Amino acid sequence: MSTVYVTHSSYAQHTLSQHPEHTGRIISVWQTLIEGNLINRMQQNEPVEATDEMILAVHEATYLQQLKAISQQQRIVLLDADTYVLPQSLQIARLAAGGVVTAIEQVLNGQARNGLAAVRPPGHHALPQRGMGFCLFGNIAIGARYAQKAHDIQRILIVDYDVHHGNGTQDMFYDDPNVLFISTHQHPFYPGSGHIDEIGRGGGEGYTINIPLAAGHGDRSYQEIYERIIWPAAQRFQPELMLVSAGFDAHWRDPLAQMMLSLQGYAHITRELVQMAETLCEGRIVFVMEGGYDLEVLGHGVRNIAHALLGDETVSDPIGNSSRSEPSVESVIEAVCQQHQLC
Ligand SMILES: [Zn+2]
């Protein structure tokens, strides 16, 4: 069975010069996938446009109304200091969330074994009531709600390895015991949330796992975290579907953050996640593009996701490792394990 690949030419039409979240990001991904001869090996599907109903499963109606009003105007609107909306952005954001829905649909209806949604604008910072942090809609959250409603999927594991805390995704499932959200992120850092003691609320208590990391952690720390926290947490939860917020801004060369992962390190944790899905849920996993602001890193990072999903041994890393040594991750692992009774 195949790997579904969802993207759309419109993703290049949401852009602002001088802004880090610009059209060059998706173009780099497309080019790098072509260079790796990967596109033709995947099943390509056009994204659906996320409907109002899909969007309103995670967002408030007043926010959708606001975006509809902006789409009628001929100007750029800023939702916060760094989140822009153009007249065409609503439709593109519908295609971004819809890209995740389409990839999930193909995996859950058995047309594909696993999937890659190369979408933008990104989604994991978008809150129910407003967009923020370059994100308009909670793409991965909309996909997860779709899986729950359309396919009666009971347990969904969302892993977020973007360098920023996925505060929007966390918010949307904070009281939901059927969605386990696990985030590794630089901390303290934008957007400020993601403390170890943010663990969920009510029935959802224990179903949010935050792994905040000081600047400077890299391949070895992430490898330890996957072995000692993410694997046991996933095994305990027994997901039926896995979704990944795949951001490549934890790479050492990213201009916005200070983590030290290499492309090899990213490829390792990507493979761990694919292996987790193979072990726990018949391979059902969809990777969703989030951040990553070094264009070469982003392109090769996404290329390595495609290799992992297709079962290739290949890892593409023209950049190499940082020469800096990383701090010990032991105290963070112990604190998270204790908080979540994983050790
Ligand atoms: Zn990010």
Pairing of strands 83-85, 77-80: antiparallel
* Active-site residue, selected from the candidate residues 22, 125, 165, 185: 125
Domains of the chain: 2-339 (3.40.800.20)
pTM: 0.98
Output the CA 163–ligand 1 centroid distance in Å. Answer: 5
Output the CA 302–ligand 1 centroid distance in Å. Answer: 14
Output the CA 111–ligand 1 centroid distance in Å. Answer: 31
Which is it for the CA torsion 116, 237, 57, 162, positive or negative? negative
pLDDT in tens, the chain (343 residues): 699 999 999 999 999 999 999 999 999 999 999 999 999 999 999 999 999 999 999 999 999 999 999 999 999 999 999 999 999 999 999 999 999 999 999 999 999 999 999 999 999 999 999 999 999 999 999 999 999 999 999 999 999 999 999 999 999 999 999 999 999 999 999 999 999 999 999 999 999 999 999 999 999 999 999 999 999 999 999 999 999 999 999 999 999 999 999 999 999 999 999 999 999 999 999 999 999 999 999 999 999 999 999 999 999 999 999 999 999 999 999 999 999 999 8
Angle between helical axes of 295-310 and 24-35 (0-180°, round to 10): 50
Closest of 93, 144, 101, 146 to residue 122, by C-alpha: 93
Output the CA 1–ligand 1 centroid distance in Å. Answer: 32
Whole-number pLDDT of residue 88: 96
Output the CA 335–ligand 1 centroid distance in Å. Answer: 24
Output the CA 257–ligand 1 centroid distance in Å. Answer: 8
Whole-number pLDDT of residue 248: 99
Active site residue 125: yes
Query: Which protein residues have their CB within 5 A of the ion that is ligand 1?
Result: 162, 164, 247, 249, 291
For the beta carbon of residue 248, count every other beta carbon within 10 angstroms.
31
Measure the CA–CA gap between 31 and 17, rounded to whole angstroms: 20
Residue 149 has which token pair? 């409603």
Residue 326 has which token pair? 């990383």
One-letter identity of residue 176:
D
Closest of 230, 264, 302, 299 to residue 3, by C-alpha: 302
One-letter identity of residue 139:
N
Measure the CA–CA gap between 95 and 308, rounded to whole angstroms: 25
Output the CA 269–ligand 1 centroid distance in Å. Answer: 17
Output the CA 295–ligand 1 centroid distance in Å. Answer: 14
**Within the chain, what is the greatest distance between any pair of CA atoms?**
56
Whole-number pLDDT of residue 1: 67
Spell out a b/e string for 129-167, using b for 16 or more CB atoms within 10 Å of the CB, else e.
ebbbbbbbbbbbbbbbbbbbeeeebebbbbbbbbbbbbb
Output the CA 3–ligand 1 centroid distance in Å. Answer: 25
Tell me if 129 sits within 8 A of 167, measured CB to CB.
no
Output the CA 132–ligand 1 centroid distance in Å. Answer: 12
Whole-number pLDDT of residue 10: 98
